């Protein structure tokens, strides 16, 4: 009896200390393979995006009243605002520590979503007007005055940056403040019925609109090929439609998969958080559209 008591007293502190130290170890928010994937994607996004922005500066010398040029300029602003937050995402996924405060964490996290919806909106408007122009439903592709074009864009960005963005930051992650160690961890917000419903609606809109515009684009290209045959490549309108096709493909490759997955993610945010971050990072590859804009002869070089 004395021996058993002595052994028990001697070993129990060791067992307890092991148990405490094990439970004290913080659980990693992202696994190493996911972190590596996210770092690689965001580095590619940053490099391609900055390169595209550099080339697109030349568009400032073109007709500022042109609908296409206005779309270019607004895309440049959207991409620029997103790209300046990408280094902070890379920093976090490398160190897995966030020491820049909860408000800035919300800002960086919100900018990627604002970037998605701005890019999609610009694509959808630009493609719709170009489709209507193709079918001769509208002839106006310019604003009457340069100030009208700049004023319209400035007003939209004022609403987004001065009103919408602060509102999102104040409500985003309201149920759980990010800690000094973690960021991009707002699953609790999705439990709110209004937030859940809004995310479902936005995802469905992006999926449906993207698929409809893809079908319209295919019909337009089919019409042109049937009409002009082998001489289609010599038609200026054909290359306009090829650029439209690039935008449609970017939507289908970068935006639609994320929002299709998001419909499932909204029901299992904790279990699917890592994969959701990968799909979210892929949306940043929409910055490739600037290479399409900048390289006017890029499609022709493929033939």
> What is the pLDDT, as a whole number, of residue 285?
93
Please report, for residues 43, 86, 94, 281, the alpha-carbon distance to residue 37 in angstroms, rounded to integers and kept in the order given.
10, 14, 11, 9
Task: Write the CB contacts of 273 (distance below 8 Å, at least 6 apart in sequence).
Answer: 185, 187, 265
CA pair distance 142, 65, nearest whole angstrom: 5
Whole-number pLDDT of residue 213: 95
> Exposure string (b/e) for 109-132, b if CB count within 10 Å is 16 or more?
bbbbbbbbbbbbebbbebbebbbe
All domains of the chain in start order, with CATH: 29-295 (1.20.1070.10)
| CA 243/CA 220 separation, integer angstroms | 13
Question: HSE of 83 in the Cβ direction (CA atoms, 13 Å)?
Answer: 23
83, 287 Cβ separation under 8 angstroms: yes
**pLDDT attached to residue 269:** 85
Spell out, as residue ranges, where the chain has pLDDT lower than 50: 1-26, 177-178, 297-303
Kindly provide the b/e burial profile for residues 203-220, where b requires at least 16 CB atoms within 10 angstroms of the residue's own CB: beebbebbeebbebbeeb
Please report the pLDDT score of residue 18 as a whole number: 40
pLDDT of residue 290: 80
Whether 87 contacts 46, CB under 8 Å: yes
């Amino acid at each position: 009896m004395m021996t058993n008591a002595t052994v028990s007293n001697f070993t129990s502190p060791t067992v307890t200390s092991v148990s405490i130290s094990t439970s004290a170890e913080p659980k990693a928010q992202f696994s190493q393979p996911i972190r590596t994937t996210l770092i690689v994607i965001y580095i590619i996004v940053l490099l391609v995006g900055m390169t595209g922005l550099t080339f697109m500066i030349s568009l400032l010398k073109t007709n500022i009243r042109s609908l296409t040029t206005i779309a270019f300029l607004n895309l440049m602003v959207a991409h620029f605002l997103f790209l300046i937050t990408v280094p902070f995402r890379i920093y976090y996924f490398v160190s897995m520590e966030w020491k820049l405060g909860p408000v800035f964490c919300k800002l960086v996290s919100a900018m990627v979503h604002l970037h998605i919806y701005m890019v999609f909106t610009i694509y959808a408007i630009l493609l719709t007007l170009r489709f209507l122009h193709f079918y001769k439903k509208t002839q106006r592709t310019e604003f009457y005055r340069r100030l009208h074009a700049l004023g319209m864009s400035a007003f939209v960005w004022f609403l987004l940056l001065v009103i919408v963005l602060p509102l999102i930051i104040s409500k985003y992650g309201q149920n759980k403040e990010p800690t000094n160690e973690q960021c991009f961890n707002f699953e609790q917000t999705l439990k709110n019925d209004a937030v859940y419903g809004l995310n479902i609606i936005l995802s469905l809109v992006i999926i449906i609109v993207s698929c409809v515009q893809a079908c319209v684009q295919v019909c337009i290209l089919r019409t042109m090929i049937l009409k002009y045959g082998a001489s289609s490549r010599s038609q200026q309108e054909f290359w306009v439609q090829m650029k439209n096709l690039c935008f449609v493909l970017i939507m289908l490759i970068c935006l639609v998969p994320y929002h299709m997955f998001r419909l499932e993610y909204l029901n299992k945010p904790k279990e699917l958080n890592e994969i959701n971050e990968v799909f979210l990072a892929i949306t940043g590859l929409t910055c490739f559209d600037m290479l399409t804009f900048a390289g006017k002869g890029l499609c022709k070089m493929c033939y």
